[in-house]
Structure 1
C-alpha cells in the first residue's frame, strides 16, 4: 500500500488535490513536492533494480497524458539503451508504487547485437520501434500465447500491428541463452520475453495498458510529444 506521502503525491500528479490538513496545512510543503521523484523513489521491487529515473520520467509523462484512454493503469517500461543481458523490462503499477515484474527482453535482429542501436517503423526492417504502445488482444500463434500491440506514435511505431509486432515468448530470450552466447537472441522486431515468463507478463498488461519502449535515438527524443511535460 502507498505511504501517505506517496499517496498524496500521486493524487497531486493526476490532478486530484489532497485534504489541506496534510502536513499541517502547509501549502509550501505541498507545492515543493516533485511528484515524479516521489513516485520513483517510492517504487518497491524485490531485486532493487529500477529503470533509470530519466526513462521512468518519460514513461510516466506519457502515462499521465494517456491514462484516461487506458483500461488498465499498469505501465510497462522497456529500456533498449541497456544491453540485452540486462533485465531491461519493468511492469509497474504506479498507483500502488510496485514493480510487478522485471525481465530481460529481446530486440529486433537488425537493431543491433548486444545493444539495440537503430530503430525503424518500416515493414520488413526487422528492427524494434520506439515509443508508446497500447496493449490489445491476446491470441495463440506460432510462438504460442501472444499479445498484439498498437503503436500510438505516428512515424515511430504506428505500423506495429501491420508489422505483427507483438509480445511473445521465445527460448532465445531466456537468460540461459544469453549466458551461453553473450547476448539474447533477437526477434524480427518484437519485444520477445523468456518463454517461462511471457504468459505471466501478458496477463498483467493485456487489454488496454500502456507500454513504453525507450532507445537512444535523437529523432525520437526530439519529436515525441508524449515524453515531455
Structure 2
C-alpha cells in the first residue's frame, strides 16, 4: 500500500514490468529490494475468476490484466506518483504522508468519496 514513484521498465518473468520505489519508510520503502513491480498476469481476468472462483495471487505485486499492461506501464513509467489503496486504518495512522493533517483531511475526503461510489 501507499505512495510509490514509478521507475524504469524491464522484461522479466511476466514480460514487460515496471519497477516501483516506495516513498514511505516502514511501509513500502523496501519495494525495490523485494522486487515489487507492476506486471501483467493471466490470473487477472474474468476467465480466471470463472475457472477458480477468485483472482490469482501476485505475492505483493500490483498485477494487471495482460490485455492492458503494456499500455498502462508505458503510460506511467519513469517518475509517476502512484497511490496503492486499501482501506486499512493502521496504514492511515502509520503513513508519514497521510499523518500530515492537511494531507490526511484531503485523503480522508477522497476515501469517503471512493467508498460511497462502491
> Normalised by the size of structure 2, how large is the TM-score?
0.79
The answer to whether residue 27 in structure 2 is matched with residue 156 in structure 1 is yes
Task: Name which one, 1 or 2, has greater alpha-carbon Rg.
Answer: 1
Greater CA drift, 213-222 or 194-203? 213-222
The answer to whether residue 70 in structure 2 is matched with residue 196 in structure 1 is no
Distance 2:5 2:13 in 1: 22
Structure 2 unpaired stretches of 5+: 99-103, 106-118
Provide the aligned length of Structure 1 versus Structure 2: 100
Deviation sequence 1:92-124 (CA, Å, 0-9, x none): xxxxxxxxxxxxxxxxxxxxxxxxxxxxxxxxx
Distance 2:66 2:4 in 1: 22
Q: How far 1:220 sits from its partner (Å)?
A: 1.0
Whose strand fraction is larger, Structure 1's or Structure 2's? Answer: 2
Among residues 122, 127, 133, which one is paired with 2:4 in the alignment?
133
Q: How far 1:180 sits from its partner (Å)?
A: 2.3
Q: Could you tell me which residue of structure 2 aligns to residue 212 of structure 1?
A: 83
Structure 1 unpaired stretches of 5+: 1-129
Higher relative contact order (CA 8 A, sep 6+): 2
Q: How far 1:221 sits from its partner (Å)?
A: 0.9
The answer to whether residue 36 in structure 2 is matched with residue 170 in structure 1 is no
Q: How far 1:210 sits from its partner (Å)?
A: 0.9
When the two chains are superposed, the root-mean-square deviation of aligned CA atoms in Å is 1.2
> Normalised by the size of structure 1, how large is the TM-score?
0.42
Distance 1:213 1:134 in 2: 11
